[in-house]
Structure 1
Amino acid sequence: MAERAPTVRLRPVDDAVLAEMVRAALGDAAPDEVTPMLTPGNTWTPERVEWLTRFHADRRAGLDGPAGEATWAVEVDGDVAGAVRLKRTAEPGVLETGIWLARGVRGRGAGRRAIAAVLAQAAVLGGREVRVETGRGNQGALAILRGLGFECSDAGGDRVAARRAVPGTTRAPGR
């Protein structure tokens, strides 16, 4: 019998949700998957925890706030298990996304559902195209992106760039 697909929803990040997100990251994700490399080694340090907390708190104002970026917690079967974001780019209507998920929810369809949900958010927010960049070796992410209709191309080095028109738009900008 096939495993049941998880229920995934995006939740606004208030103080309680942010605390759950930080717990999920500390308990089941590598720091390099969640934060920039702020300190040597792939270990959770006070600097990384502070960055993670501040990053999401600073984005509560959404795309129209000072950061030009919005984040949501990814809830999987009722538990916060990651985060997803949308960020304005210099091109009107083009948004960048990124995601991290706790290890325990990977490989069950949660990432696909979270990216589909952020595409729906992009449509609500007036986006026309969503872009993402990931490592060439991140086969799970690349399968999700291709499965959701993203066009993938070489971004140089070990990076892959992916782009997709937002559902409900007729074409991506510049195309």
Structure 2
Amino acid sequence: MPDIALHPLTEDTLPALLAAAVADADPLEVMPPVAGQPGWTAERRAAFLSFHRARGLAAEPIELTFVVLELNAVVGAARLRPTGAGEFETGIWLGRGARGRGVGRAVVALLRAEASRAGARRMVATTTAENAAARGLMDSASVRVDGTDVHGTWRLH
């Protein structure tokens, strides 16, 4: 199993997260779409920073955002967003170099532990039927397919 850790996102780690995204991921894999030319434009980099500041670093954040570290190097991000009723919704993105080596599975296990410590009874995730990598991470979850969406639920307690 890879040496993986989750570190809470901070203003100090945000530049390293952006650098990892720019170096090893497509913008559409790691953030909402931004109009304009493809690739990591100045506008997209600014939008990435604003997105994370608004969601995970705001005075009242809407989610817990983590930097994913492999051997202390930033390789992606993960999040837990409370949805109510003891449930956290999760999402993960990993740079291309961290994919297919068990990093995602380790992150799911760490997120389950974080959600449990925060008092959640369930952790849920949604992906598309085409996202084979994300679907593969749901093998330890109860899975439901709804059209082109795949929903995974992990019971924590």
User: TM-score, with normalisation over the residues of structure 2?
Assistant: 0.91
Q: Distance in 1 between matches of 2:120 and 2:57?
A: 18
Does residue 109 (structure 1) correspond to residue 102 (structure 2)? The answer is: yes
Q: Secondary structure at the match of 1:37?
A: coil
* Pairs aligned (count): 156
Does residue 60 (structure 1) correspond to residue 60 (structure 2)? The answer is: no
Q: Secondary structure at the match of 2:13?
A: helix
CA contact (8 A) 1:86 1:97 kept: yes
Q: Secondary structure at the match of 2:105?
A: helix
Does residue 165 (structure 1) correspond to residue 155 (structure 2)? The answer is: yes
CA contact (8 A) 2:143 2:150 kept: yes
Q: Secondary structure at the match of 1:98?
A: strand
Q: How does 1:55-134 map onto structure 2 within 5 Å? A: 55-58=51-54, 59-60=56-57, 66-89=60-83, 91-134=84-127
CA contact (8 A) 2:21 2:30 kept: yes
Q: How does 1:32-51 map onto structure 2 within 5 Å? A: 32-40=28-36, 42-51=38-47
CA contact (8 A) 1:9 1:76 kept: yes
Q: Distance in 1 between matches of 2:61 and 2:53?
A: 11
1:173 maps to: none
Q: Which structure 2 segments of 5+ residues have no match?
A: none
Q: 2:145 aligns with which of 124, 146, 154?
A: 154
CA contact (8 A) 1:8 1:77 kept: yes
1:7 maps to: 3
> Aligned Cα RMSD in Å?
1.6
Q: Distance in 2 between matches of 1:43 and 1:153?
A: 34
What amino acid sits opposite 2:50 in the alignment? R
Q: Distance in 1 between matches of 2:64 and 2:36?
A: 28
Q: Distance in 1 between matches of 2:143 and 2:38?
A: 28
CA contact (8 A) 2:8 2:64 kept: no
Q: Distance in 2 between matches of 1:60 and 1:118?
A: 18
Q: Secondary structure at the match of 2:79?
A: strand
Q: Secondary structure at the match of 1:127?
A: coil
Q: Secondary structure at the match of 1:16?
A: coil
Q: Distance in 1 between matches of 2:30 and 2:75?
A: 12
